[in-house]
Structures are given as C-alpha cells and as structure tokens.
Structure 1
C-alpha cells in the first residue's frame, strides 16, 4: 500500500506511519515533521487515516495539517515537484531555514478553537514551554510555580512530576527572549519593504524609566504590528537620550536602513528626538517623516475644551459673586471625594504633554468674559459629579432608592458612572448616562429625604448638558475610530477637517449652542488648528492621502486647497517614488523550482495554463508611468487602501510597494500605550521589585508568544541547562541580549 503513496504531501510526515487502533478502529497514523507542530488536539503531531473508510488513500487531512505547520507556500512548492523524493528535499530545506515573516503571521491565527488536552504527561521540555508561555502571556509572577496549592494540583498522583523553580523560570524567559529576538531580527531584515515605528516613554509602577518601540508593516494587504523592544533609559528622557536609545534598538536588530517613519506624542522632547534621530538613523528623514499620535491630539483638544469648566482654585483675594460662591460651596472637597472613591493612577491619566492653555494669552477683560460665559457649565458638571458620588457612597439609603426609581422607569439597572477629572472621556460617559437617566435623576433630587435638592438641574442645565455631550461625541468617536487595528494615516487630515468643522459650528452657532459651549469650542479649535498646521511639516500625511485610492488628489480639490498646494502634494509623491521605488523589483517566489522537461505528468498539475499566458497577464508598469496611470484612473469607493494595493500589486508593481509602506504608517501610538497598560498588570503592588531586564523579557516574550514567535526549540535549547536553585543571585552577562545572526 505504501508503494502507492506518491503524493508530495507525504513528504511533510515521517516516511513510515504507525499502525494503531484508535477508538476501536484500525488506522495509519502519520507523524508531522515540523519541529514545532502548530496543530491542535489531544495528539496534535499525529494525523489518523482510518482503514475502514471508502478511500484509504485520501490525503485531505494530511494536506490540512501540512498547510498549518509549513504554510501554503511550502505545500505548493512540494506539489509543484510532482515527485515525493524531490518534495522531501523541499521539506528538508524548509525545516533548515527560519520561517518567513509572512508565514508566522499567517499561522498564528490558525487552529484556534476548542481546547483539548493530551492523555500523555508532559515532558520536562513541554513543562518548561507551557510555563514560559503561561507566565508571560498572562503576566503571572514567576514564584507562582512554587505556590503550595499549585504544586498540590500538579503533583497529586504524580509526586515526581517536574516543576521548575521560580529562578529557573526567570532564566528560561530571558533565554527565550534572546532567541526570539534573533528570529525576529532576521525576519525584519528580510522583509520586502520599509518599516514604520511608534514609540513612547513610561515610568513603571516600580519607578523604572522605560521606552517602548513597536514596529508596523504590511503583510498581504493587512496591517501588522508587534512590540519590538522595551528598554530602560535610566537617565533624563531628553530628546537626545531618547534618540540614542531608539537608534540603538534599530541597530541591534539590523534594520537601521529600513526606517520610513515614527509616530510619537506631541511633547517638546519628541521634537528634539525627531531632529536628532536622522544623524543616528540616516534612513529616517526627520520631521518630514514624523507622525504625531492623533489619539493624543484628540485627547489634548478635548482636554482644552473641558479644562475651561474646571473649578478655579481658591484665591484669597477673590471677590466672589453669588454664583461663584454657590459653585465654590458645591465643589468643596470634590477632589478629595474623587480620590477616595476612585484612586487616580497618574500613568493612566490623559497625557497633557503638548497641551496649551490659551487663557494665558488672553487679556484680563477676555478672561473675565470667558469666566462669565462658562460659569453655568461649571455648575452643571459639579452637580452631576456630586450626584454620582453621593449615590455611590450612600449604599444604605440613596443607592437602594436609586435602584427602585430605575426599575419604576423601566431602565437598565446601572449606577451613574463617575467623572474622573483626569480623563475627558469619563465626562462624556457621565453626560450620556445622565441624559438617558434624566427621569431618575430628576426624581431622586426632588425627594426631600434624599437631601439632594441642591443638585437639582433645571431645563436650561439639561439643555447645555446635551450640547456638551454632542460636542464630546466627535472626540469619542474619533478616539474609537483610530484605536482600530486597521486605522490609516490617510484618514487623519479628513478627520481633522471634520473635528474643525464641528468646533467651528459650535463656536459660531448661537441658535443651537449656549455661550458656554461657544466659548470653550473656540479655545479647543485653536489647539486643533495648531496641530493641523504641524501636518504641513511632515510629508507622509499628504503622500498617504494621495496613495489612498479613495482620496488621491480629489479630496484636496474638494476641500478647496489651492492649485499650488495640490501640485506640491503630487510632487511629494513623485519625489519619494523616484528616490526609493522607481528601481524596485518585486522579490521572486520563496521556493523557486528547477524547470523540468514537459511530460504527460504535467497534465496532473492543479495549475491552469492560462494563468501564466503573457497575453492575459495584468497590465504592468511598462505600459506607462505608474503614478500617472493611478491618478488618471479616478477615485474608488475603497475603505481598505492596503488591501486594494495588495490586490493591484501586479498592475502597479513599484507604486504598490510604496503605497503599502506609507499606508501602514500608524496614525497613533495606541499599540505602545497598550503595552504600558499590560505593564501595569505585570507590575502589581505585590510585585514591585522586578528588574528592568525581567520586565523587558516578560513583556516581549508574552506578546511574541501570543503572536506565534515562541517555538519549542527555543525552550529545548534552555531545557538542557541545569535548573537554577532558588535563592541564587541572578547574573546577566554584559551582552546577554546581543543578537547574533
């Protein structure tokens, strides 16, 4: 029977299958040759082919398994050989080389489903692998492996079962970190395109000064990103120092010649960072290739609007009128109440670097006029904050009555969300809730027994609450829109235009908006315009827009840009194309095969002879200049520009590479912020003595493991080392993390 197995797919499995009885049925069991099998199931490495079926030679399950572990390219290359012996050579080569970047990202999402468990006890290596993945992916402390009850669960019935010491786990995580860094460095060096980055600085809960760097690129029309490194910068976070640290990381990975852009926040030290970096990383064009985190700009603009409504600090020589005294009395102790009810983590508060208080530029008369306009809104917000706080704190009187009223009005059982003063989006959430639950708020503040009459809102106050809610909605939606994984830099300028339009309308429309809204919208608009002007300094915004098939040059024309500005935008695209992409050549297939003489066996191939006929091939750049053809084709109703360019890569072989590079530039540094959020989970108040090296290795390995970059052989390499006895001092050599390729 084995002599009849001629399909190349058998090359991905051991030559001689086992003959077993599986659930009472005889079967041939094929064992996968992959070093790190990616399949799922009780025995993931094995594929059973039952002998009591109609087709005992079916290879469909074998092909599914090979596709998961080796990838479509390797399977296709094996099929093209049409010879099992030659196919085994292809598989041998695939096992010997590092997996390409595309293969890792394709395979990381396959096989997800119901979790099953093996009947076979873990080996020592498998235990180490599982524990490394567990503690890093889920931010568990290393000493969890010595927990009494954990050991009780693991060793009951098998007292000799191997469990490593916490010190061994710590050592293993660092070893895996080093091996994965080398693999990632090689894959990024071989990536066919330029790389984009995002970075930000963070002080951890245990006072480690760190910077995180994420890398962004395109893979088969999809945006891809990953944490590249998290390094300690234990000195002033000046722009010069940050540039040096950033440059060191790129040089370590060997990708300093592949940098297109970087996204960072709007702090002044990042201006210096941008100016210093080109001298250290020559492939970076400086301010022309910098993007400013749009989520940060949105936060700053919303903060500028809401900051006008903050209760002013007490001034001994203030001459307070009745309204001011009422506000001061209601707002007394509100900050203490906030901190008592919900501790404010400074690291989680809105980043205010780059915020400008335009009141400082006003005359005394202008400030007094502004104060008078915004006083009603200040009073409204204080009342709502007090209602939320008082309701929550009175768990035996007011809160039960609140729930009774909620039920009476047929609303969902919810408490009023608190407005945390350091987070503008919590103000929106509070207003949205208050308007929805207005009947409950009106009823409970009207009841004498609740002693909340001083927080009653009249119709005018409810109207300005709706106005502020509606204005904040544009910031809320913008934040959510740009927090998506597929957000594009090409959408930043149109989004700025939309926000500016909303603020301009609110500032000028006295028929729809109160004085308080008009005054605060004017201040917020000035800040948004400041950052709108900053986009003129960077070329990548306009290039990305022109290269998005939905915008091209038409958006600028509709927006009323001058002919000179539009011509300049086109020139930026042409210049960048001429500089880097005009001579670009698409890479050859990953697994080229020798041409063989035509034979009858060719007819068995699954390919179609018409696919490769020159007369039916897509139009290429030889038919004319790619940029001109692209712009003359007109705009298309396309949301996903990256995928559009991937699908048109044969029509525009050079321009598509450029477009995919620019459209994969991140418009925000949200990915980096998420790293910091994960870091706060890792560094709980009970785990505050971790070294910067341990933080770095744990965070990076955790993300890389979730993405499929940690392999069994990484653990195998460290499994042969002697375990570390608990209590031994950790020693790291000077270049312990050096990348050696």
Structure 2
C-alpha cells in the first residue's frame, strides 16, 4: 500500500485511492500514478485529463468549483468512469466532420485551423483531428457511396426528367449543372446529377455531347422524358438535336421576358431609373443612411423593437428585385421624404434630383399588387418537391384573364404595363396550335386530376389535347407483369363514375379563386364531347374514358401523385403515363439554385478547387437524402 499522509488536506484526494507499491488510482479513469509524498502528479493528471474538475487547493475545499467559501458539492461525474474515445467513436466523429463540411459548405482546410483544433481538444481530448487530405479522401468515399445509392434509386424509376443550366464561377470557369426529377412511391424526388466543367465553346453540339454523356454515365438511357432549360439559343438547339426527349423551355424565363417587356416601357423605365438613383444615394452616403435610420425610429410604433430596414436596390437580371425595391420604398416613404427635405442632410440640388413626385409614389403603390401576383405565379411554378408542370397553363390563363386584365380604375402607367406584359405572354405562351404550344405541359394538365377538365383552354384545344393523350395511351406498351395487373384491375374496375367536376381546382389555395374565375367563363362538358349516353356505357369503355368521368380532386387537399398511387389498380396504363409527364418540372430553377451553393463553395479562398471536387462538394451538399 502507498504511504498516505496523516491528514489529506489537498482536494485532490477526493479523486484518488491508495494502491500497492506507493501508487494511487484515479477514481475517474482508474489510471495508476506514482505517489512520492507529493500531490503534484495527481493534480497534473486531473488538470490534463478531467477538465470539468476544478481543484482550488485550499484547505477545507472539496469537489467542483462553486460560489462562496464553504465546502462545495462533488460532481456526479467524479463517481462515473470517463468515456474513452475508442476507434468506433473516432470514426464516427470523423464522419460527422465530413458531413458538416459538405452540409455547411466549409473549406476543406478548416480542420487544420487552430480554433477548431482547440475546440476538439476540449470536447474530446483523446481525439486526433484529421488532416485536410484525410477529410478529402473521406468525402470522396462518401461521394462514391452516394452515387451508388442514386443509381439504385434510378433503377426503380420508369421515367425521369432533367433540368440544365450553365454558370460561371468567380475563377471564370464555366460549369453546367444537371438535375434529375422522378416519381418514387407517390412522391416527386429531385437530385443533382453532376456539375461538369465546360472547357470548350458553348456551342449546341458541345452542350448536346455533355448532356448525352451525363445520361449515359448515370444509366438513364431511354428513361429521360424531357429536359427543361432556359431560352438560350444554344441550349434550345442542343436539346432539339438530340431527339431523345422533349425540349421544354423554362416557364420562369418566359415569364421574365414578358415582364421585362413591360418594365422597359418608357414611363416604367423612367420610374425604375428614378427609384434606382434614390436607393443608390442612400447606399453611398453614410450621412443619409444614418439620418434615415433615425427617422425610421422616430416614425415607427413605440412597441416595434425590430431593427430599421435598409433600402433594396433592383437588379437588371431579376425582375422580382423591382418588386422588392418598390415594396421597401413604399413602406419607408415618409422617412425617405423627411431625410430628403432636411437641408442639414441633403442638399437642395440633390433633393430636386432624387425626390419622387406624388404620381411616382401612386404608381409604385398601384404596381405592387400586379407585380406581387406575377411573383406568386413564379414561386408556385418553381418548386422541386411537388408537381408543377401541370400548373403552367392554368396559371398563365389566370394571369391573362384576371391579374393582367386592365379593366378597373387604374392609372395609365399600370394599364400600359398590364397590356404590354399580357401581349408578350400571350404571344409566347398561348396554345393556338398543339405542336407549337407546350405539349408536355398540356398533357400534364390533362393527366393532373385537379385540372383534367382543361377549362382554361378553348374547346378546340381541349379536343386536341385529349386526342393527343389518347394517342399516347394507345401506343404505350407496359411491361409483362404490369399487363397482368392491368387485366386484374380491369375486371375489378369501379362501375360507378361521377360526372365532370363543376368546381375548378388549382395548384395552391392562393390560386384557387383565380382559376375558378376563368373556369366559369370557359367550361365545356365532357359528356358533350364524347356524345350522349356516355355515362350509362362508361363501364364498357377503357380506362382512359373512365378517367375523364372521374371526379376532379380538390387542389389544396390532395397531391396528384398520391391520387395516382391510390388509383394505380384502376388506371394501370394511365398511371404510368401520368408518372411520365408529371415528373417534369415547370422551370429550370432547380439547376439555378445550385449557383448559390456553388458561389459559397468556389470562392476566393478556395480558387484552386478542381472541377471534380467542385462536383463532389455540390453533389454532397444538395443530395443529402442519399447519404
């Protein structure tokens, strides 16, 4: 036994017991230490291995640090063995660091930072922080595993749709991102296929070669239904040259072109220019910015504790930034006016140039609901996890018939803007001919149980779309096992079929009233189209005809993909056709959303990232559900 002192004055003895051969044993970790009539080694052990234990070394003190001069209570951890950082825990921590790097888009070199090393030493003293090279290798392994999981998921997908768009990094390197969309168990899935560097000229032939290579690499041959892209000529020609899928222009780009036509009008152009100069003045003048904050605080409600809002500058490439600028100017009008009228802050010559007239302020206020409806339409069609392509024409016709209708007590500027945008949108979108119109979007609307009545189209276009869908239905060849299920489903099909739905349904609650307004004006009867006595003989017709008599579903209560999943036994062929077209997104926004992540990944601090690692980091960040 170790020779112990007669009086254990030091607090370190609260954590050690005597052992044989002049040694002591730590109660916390069971480690043996030599005891030579000194507590120095014991105290050093506590300080280095047990950081939560505070040893003051004063007479009468015991346990952890506390308040006051009296005895302190011993922590429960003093009687619990310390957790060891074994190989399993070390591997788990390293994996979580890799996931954090991809999820938060951190630079790979952050693991070599002194601050991170200090943090990990405090949290897990026995853990050795890996080097940048180790983290890169682990991320490459995670990327390979993720790609294998994605390929297994694609094997079960019968149809997929892709979106593509190009972007340029801060290092002036060109990239093209391709995303994939498919239906899985009644839900729409979205993932990033790849982000490849474009070193050659962006000709239609080179872009087509990159698209073809990506599809072959992922084993998606004969599965791609459509490619959604912007309206750039080279991208349009690249998709048309492949002839392997439908070329679908991005609705968001089309709508932006139409809105830009209205914003470029003389009066609107001058108003936007005046607002831009006004916002720039406050952005470049420190004195004006400080004065604006003071006026905002003086004019706000006493109970409002939120920080003052800054003015928003518009951007030429994003039309919705004009709406943001107008909204902020309108909400801060009186604070802005007060600053411009204060001669201690704004010179008279500057005020005459910057001040907006009452007509300008009235136009801004009148334009807000118009621009807000256009933004709502863009947002509704830019989703990735719900069906959007079937909403293109219902929303387009709602915009033309209601939101861009110039009837009412409006200013001349607003009327001219509405007429210009409506004319441009009608020229670009109105389906006068099925081949010239967005055939995929129209067929998707017909296969969407919310909009299959097609009441937003003329009677002639309704007939053309249904005939086109019938052609697609009759030429569809199902796999053998599906054909067997088709025969069983046909034998047990429902005999009772409801008539056409009389009430319109839309993509979201906010659009329900809009579509319903124009549905009442353009309703055509399916029974008239198919002839008298159709309802009585519905049980003798095929599933396509039974589908037309099926009741529409409420737009804000049920997902069309869930509806088709439940009706797969009743409509086996049509359900496959629905998955083919409803998986197509309405816009190429999913590919464009990658740009924001890429801007954080490829920055000035990481300008030497290889294209392979750029692709790896973007894929790991965007496809988190696969790893």
| TM-score, scaled to structure 2 | 0.71
Encode CA deviations 1:34-73: one digit per residue, 9 max, x unaligned.
xxxxxxxxxxxxxxxxxxxxxxxxxxxxxxxxxxxxxxxx
SS at match of 2:449: coil
Per-residue deviation, 1:697:
1.2
Alignment of 1:385-534 (within 5 A): 385-396=276-287, 399-410=290-301, 413-451=308-346, 453-454=351-352, 455-484=354-383, 485-501=385-401, 505-506=405-406, 509=407, 511-514=409-412, 516-533=413-430
Encode CA deviations 1:221-262: one digit per residue, 9 max, x unaligned.
222111111122211122221111111111112121211111
Alignment of 1:358-369 (within 5 A): none
SS at match of 1:419: coil
Q: Are the structure 2 counterparts of residues 499 and 673 from structure 1 closer, same or farther at C-alpha, using a change threshold of 3 Å?
A: same
SS at match of 2:585: coil
2: CA distance, partners of 1:518 / 1:129: 59
1:674 aligns with 2:574: no
Per-residue deviation, 1:464:
1.7
Match of 2:455 in 1: 555
1: CA distance, partners of 2:490 / 2:351: 82
1: CA distance, partners of 2:185 / 2:489: 24
1: CA distance, partners of 2:357 / 2:251: 37
Match of 1:27 in 2: none
Residue among 283, 298, 321 paired with 2:255? 298
Encode CA deviations 1:268-315: one digit per residue, 9 max, x unaligned.
11221122222xx4xx2xxxx22221122222222222233xxxxxxx
Residue among 595, 609, 612 paired with 1:693? 612
Are the aligned partners of 1:263 and 1:293 in contact in 2 as well (CA < 8 Å)? yes
2: CA distance, partners of 1:633 / 1:580: 21
Q: Are the structure 2 counterparts of residues 384 and 446 from structure 1 closer, same or farther at C-alpha, using a change threshold of 3 Å?
A: same
Per-residue deviation, 1:671:
1.3
Residue among 183, 188, 196 paired with 1:223? 188
Per-residue deviation, 1:491:
0.6
Larger deviation, residues 451-460 vs 664-673: 451-460
Q: Are the structure 2 counterparts of residues 569 and 646 from structure 1 closer, same or farther at C-alpha, using a change threshold of 3 Å?
A: same
Per-residue deviation, 1:429:
1.2
Alignment of 1:588-607 (within 5 A): none
Q: List runs of 5+ in structure 2 lacking aligned partners.
A: 1-82, 496-537
1:274 aligns with 2:239: yes
1: CA distance, partners of 2:320 / 2:395: 18
Match of 2:439 in 1: 539
Aligned length: 486
Per-residue deviation, 1:488:
1.4
2: CA distance, partners of 1:140 / 1:400: 38
1: CA distance, partners of 2:279 / 2:489: 71
Q: Are the structure 2 counterparts of residues 422 and 567 from structure 1 closer, same or farther at C-alpha, using a change threshold of 3 Å?
A: closer
Per-residue deviation, 1:487:
4.5
Per-residue deviation, 1:583:
5.8
2: CA distance, partners of 1:480 / 1:687: 33
SS at match of 1:206: coil
Are the aligned partners of 1:214 and 1:671 in contact in 2 as well (CA < 8 Å)? yes
Q: Are the structure 2 counterparts of residues 385 and 275 from structure 1 closer, same or farther at C-alpha, using a change threshold of 3 Å?
A: closer
Larger radius of gyration: 2
Larger deviation, residues 242-251 vs 617-626: 617-626
Which structure has more relative contact order (CA 8 Å, sep 6+)? It is 1
Match of 2:470 in 1: 574
Q: Are the structure 2 counterparts of residues 398 and 199 from structure 1 closer, same or farther at C-alpha, using a change threshold of 3 Å?
A: closer
2: CA distance, partners of 1:266 / 1:570: 28
Per-residue deviation, 1:440:
2.6
Per-residue deviation, 1:168:
2.5
Match of 1:347 in 2: none
Are the aligned partners of 2:105 and 2:600 in contact in 1 as well (CA < 8 Å)? yes
Encode CA deviations 1:444-470: one digit per residue, 9 max, x unaligned.
333333325313333322222223323
Match of 2:546 in 1: 629
Match of 1:146 in 2: 112
Q: Are the structure 2 counterparts of residues 511 and 126 from structure 1 closer, same or farther at C-alpha, using a change threshold of 3 Å?
A: closer
Q: Are the structure 2 counterparts of residues 424 and 157 from structure 1 closer, same or farther at C-alpha, using a change threshold of 3 Å?
A: closer
Larger deviation, residues 265-274 vs 525-534: 525-534
Are the aligned partners of 1:409 and 1:439 in contact in 2 as well (CA < 8 Å)? no
Are the aligned partners of 2:567 and 2:575 in contact in 1 as well (CA < 8 Å)? yes
Q: Are the structure 2 counterparts of residues 587 and 440 from structure 1 closer, same or farther at C-alpha, using a change threshold of 3 Å?
A: farther
| TM-score, scaled to structure 1 | 0.60
2: CA distance, partners of 1:628 / 1:519: 45
Per-residue deviation, 1:119:
7.7
Per-residue deviation, 1:667:
0.6
Per-residue deviation, 1:169:
2.0
Q: Are the structure 2 counterparts of residues 403 and 476 from structure 1 closer, same or farther at C-alpha, using a change threshold of 3 Å?
A: farther
Match of 2:63 in 1: none
Encode CA deviations 1:90-123: one digit per residue, 9 max, x unaligned.
xxxxxxxxxxxxxxxxxxxxxxxxxxxx985554
Are the aligned partners of 1:206 and 1:688 in contact in 2 as well (CA < 8 Å)? yes
2: CA distance, partners of 1:641 / 1:190: 20
2: CA distance, partners of 1:464 / 1:678: 37
1: CA distance, partners of 2:285 / 2:276: 14
Q: Are the structure 2 counterparts of residues 527 and 689 from structure 1 closer, same or farther at C-alpha, using a change threshold of 3 Å?
A: farther
Q: Are the structure 2 counterparts of residues 162 and 466 from structure 1 closer, same or farther at C-alpha, using a change threshold of 3 Å?
A: same
Match of 2:521 in 1: none
1: CA distance, partners of 2:574 / 2:107: 48
Per-residue deviation, 1:520:
4.2
Alignment of 1:53-64 (within 5 A): none
Encode CA deviations 1:540-582: one digit per residue, 9 max, x unaligned.
11111111112213424xx4x143x322211211122222255
2: CA distance, partners of 1:298 / 1:496: 9
Match of 1:660 in 2: 579
SS at match of 1:182: helix
Encode CA deviations 1:496-523: one digit per residue, 9 max, x unaligned.
22233357534xx595231x44444444
Larger deviation, residues 175-184 vs 261-270: 175-184
Give the alignment's Cα RMSD to 1 decimal: 3.1
Residue among 185, 206, 220 paired with 1:241? 206
Q: Are the structure 2 counterparts of residues 132 and 467 from structure 1 closer, same or farther at C-alpha, using a change threshold of 3 Å?
A: same
